[in-house]
Amino acid sequence: MNLLSYNAQWVLLSTLLLGMAAGAVGVLSYWKRQSLMSDTLSHAALPGVVIGFMIVGSKQLPIMLLAAAISALVGAWLVQTIRGSSRVKEDAAMGIVLSVFFGLGIMLLTFANRMPGGGQSGLDHFIFGQAAAMVQSDVVTMMLVAGIVLLIVVLLLKEWKITLFDASYAQGLGFSVKMMNSLYTALLVLVVVVGIQAVGVILLAALMIIPAVSARYWSNSFSIMLLLSVCFGGGSGVLGTLISTWGKGWPTGPFIVVTAAVLFVVSLLFGTSKGLVTVWYYRRRQTIEKQKHALKAVIASELGEGAHQ
Amino acid sequence: MSAVITVNDMNAAYRKSEVLSNVNFDVNAGTLTAIVGPNGAGKSTLIKSMLDLHPRSSGEVAFWGQRYQAVKKRIGYVPQRGSVDWDFPTDALDVVMMGLYGSIGWLKRPGKGHREQAMEALRSMGMELYANRQISQLSGGQQQRVFLARALVQDADIYFLDEPLAGVDAATEHIIMNTLQQLRDRGRTVIVVHHDLQTVEDYYDHVLLLNRTVIAHGATGDVFTTDQLVKTYGGALRWLREKV
């Protein structure tokens, strides 16, 4: 793929927006303590993609994405139902839904690949992501959805903040926590729909989890954490895509995720809020200051005693 | 005086085990009431089920004769300090401003006026110097004061507080109780889950003794008696009184 080609620019723009949207929604997941939910929903989208393909019989992206969204929503509903109506805890419920839906998706994929036209349809790309396989109309759809996701997160900034920090208090003030929860699930599903083609179902969750965690190391304010997470996500999207263009047929998803992970390691070490090196540096400076004070006190008292004698 | 809160035959359960049964009481305007009872008596559940934060299995709760949903903007709630994650990235002033989010409304951003209002509430709690401090770096007492300031900016007519004095320093306890008494003197109605039997008589004009149901409710002098306390606490009280 030529970097400056018309198509390459579209692809870059789309992974940029995808990374930004995933980064934004990731911050919501982080404070909901539901990071695994994004992983569950992206895996749960796979059967939908394949069923969508099987119904139409050819690669019609809008239908496949719609089916993916429905399938992810069914996954989300199942997690809630399993948790609510049995003794199974949420993490176990997510684990069950994630693996069963993925297994089902792979099973269906084997059938679909044997269908006429199935083998060349590029369905496998939905597992690890292949941004280069996208055509302009796909990219326009993705950009539109990613833009909507970003807009909803930013417009409702204060509503997210209060429901994430103190849900029962928000409820008392008249904010519908139920509605915010449904909206949150809808945003997750939208990011999944936008991302499965470029990043793939397996690694998509990383793009929602890692930028948010990285951003936590740099900021002491919710809105700045959100902004940073959006930047880290967008940056990983663009850089990962660029790197993946060096080799022919290199999958985009893994490169995006590894880029995000590198940003995470940098944040973990040097982040201004909680970075390990930063914390170590301040502690060390404090100790040195204390030692200096102690030394000065000793010298002063020695001198004082000397003067008295 | 007239009743502003009426609780009628209320029942509430967690999963299938009943926590509160046949709860009946009225609260008059301009009173400061302590809810007192042993651990597991259902004190927090009582407040939560009155505010629709916990489902009632039966019974009615009315504020000024209306359902909670119709008047919830006039009711302030201070949850237990431990109910939120204090590691959330925000500062004291920002948390206090959350009390104004309801009146600001959907989609709109808080402005300069809201900021000043929040600052004023922090000042009344003696917290103005900590306005820009990360909430994770505040002490327990300071966090509790921030919570109360957040409720104050709401300018509600009825306040519910869940253990506001749990784990706070003496200075904070003094400021909080002063504030609550001032609210009462201005005609507001305040209901507090309280855990320290020794201070009930000094702080509150009304007491509600609770153990799965209302044991007694009324003016502190009438209700806060050894007889009633034995009924509420059972055997545990003897130990408590001996300690005192």
Mean pLDDT of the B21-41 span: 92
**What pLDDT shows up at residue A240?**
92
| A226 in B contact zone (CB under 8 Å) | no
User: How many other β-carbons are positioned within 10 Å of the β-carbon of residue A88?
Assistant: 15
Highest-confidence segment of A6-10, A90-94, A122-126, A172-176 = A90-94
Pairing of the two strands B32-36 and B189-193: parallel
Nearest chain B Cα to A222, which residue? B89
Cβ pair B94, B177 in contact under 8 A: no
Cβ pair B59, B24 in contact under 8 A: no
β-bridge mates for residue B91, sequence order: B134
Cβ pair A239, A259 in contact under 8 A: yes
Of A156, A161, A172, the CB nearest to B51: A172
Q: Rounded to an integer, what distance in angstroms lies between the CA atom of residue A189 and that of residue A181?
A: 12
Q: Please give the radius of gyration of chain B, using alpha carbons only, rounded to the nearest integer.
A: 18
pLDDT in tens, A179-200: 999 999 999 999 998 888 888 8
> Three-class SS string for A32-86?
HCCHHHHHHHHHHCHHHHHHHHHHHCCCCHHHHHHHHHHHHHHHHHHHHHHHHHC
Q: Which CATH code, of 3.40.50.150, 3.40.50.300, 3.30.70.3000, 3.40.1710.10, is assigned to B3-90+156-243?
A: 3.40.50.300
Query: b/e for B89-126, b at 16 or more Cβ within 10 A?
Result: bbbbbbbbbbbbbbbbeeeeebeeebbebbbebbebbe
**What pLDDT shows up at residue B135?**
94
Q: Residue A306: which pLDDT band, with cuts at 50, 70 and 90?
A: low
Structure tokens at A133: 């396989």
Cβ pair A183, A171 in contact under 8 A: no
> Three-class SS string for B59-126?
EEEEECCECHHHHHHHEEEECCHHHCCCCCCCEHHHHHHHHHHHHHCCCCCCCHHHHHHHHHHHHHCC
| A183 CB-near residues (< 8 Å, 6+ apart) | A152, A156
**What pLDDT shows up at residue A85?**
86
Tell me what percent of the residues of chain A surpass a pLDDT of 90: 50
**What pLDDT shows up at residue B236?**
62
> If contacts are CB pairs under 8 Å, which of residues 94-113 in chain A contact chain B?
none
Helices A157-165, A177-195: axis angle to 10 degrees equals 110
* Residue among A157, A163, A174, A177 at smallest CA distance from B156: A174
Q: Residue A282: which pLDDT band, with cuts at 50, 70 and 90?
A: confident
Sheet architecture: strand order including B214-219: B75-78, B158-162, B189-193, B32-36, B206-210, B214-219
Contact criterion met (CB < 8 Å) for B104 and A159: no
Q: Rounded to an integer, what distance in angstroms lies between the CA atom of residue A149 and that of residue A108?
A: 30
Contact criterion met (CB < 8 Å) for A165 and B90: yes
Integer CA distances (angstroms), A157 to A136, B111, B114, in order: 32, 14, 16
In chain A, where the domains are located: 6-205
State which H helix or E strand residue B153 sits in: helix B140-153
Model confidence, pTM: 0.86
Cβ pair A119, A113 in contact under 8 A: yes
ipTM computed for the complex = 0.86
To the nearest whole Å, the CA of A221 is away from the closest chain B CA by 5
pLDDT in tens, B165-198: 998 999 999 999 999 999 999 999 999 999 889 9
Mean pLDDT of the A89-109 span: 93
What is the DSSP secondary structure assignment for residue B163, as one 8-state letter? Answer: S
Residues of B with CB under 8 A from a CB of A: 48, 51-53, 72-73, 75-77, 79, 83-85, 88-91, 94-95, 98-99, 101-102, 104, 106-107, 109-110, 134, 150, 154
Structure tokens at B3: 């009743």
**What pLDDT shows up at residue B7?**
93
pLDDT of A144 strictly over 50: yes
What mean pLDDT value characterizes chain B? 90
Total residues found in chain B within this entry: 244
In chain B, where the domains are located: 3-90+156-243
Q: Where are the beta strands (DSSP E) in A82-147?
A: none
Q: Residue B244: which pLDDT band, with cuts at 50, 70 and 90?
A: very low
Cβ pair A182, A110 in contact under 8 A: no
pLDDT of A307 strictly over 70: no
Phi–psi pair at A134, nearest 5 degrees: -80, 145
CATH architecture of A6-205: Orthogonal Bundle (1.10)
Pairing of the two strands B214-219 and B56-63: unpaired
pLDDT of A1 strictly over 50: no
The CA-CA-CA angle for residues A272, A277, A283, to 5°, reads 90
pLDDT of B39 strictly over 70: yes
| A15 CB-near residues (< 8 Å, 6+ apart) | A131, A198, A199, A237, A238, A240, A241, A252, A256
Structure tokens at B127: 């917290």
Of B79, B109, B134, the CB nearest to A168: B79
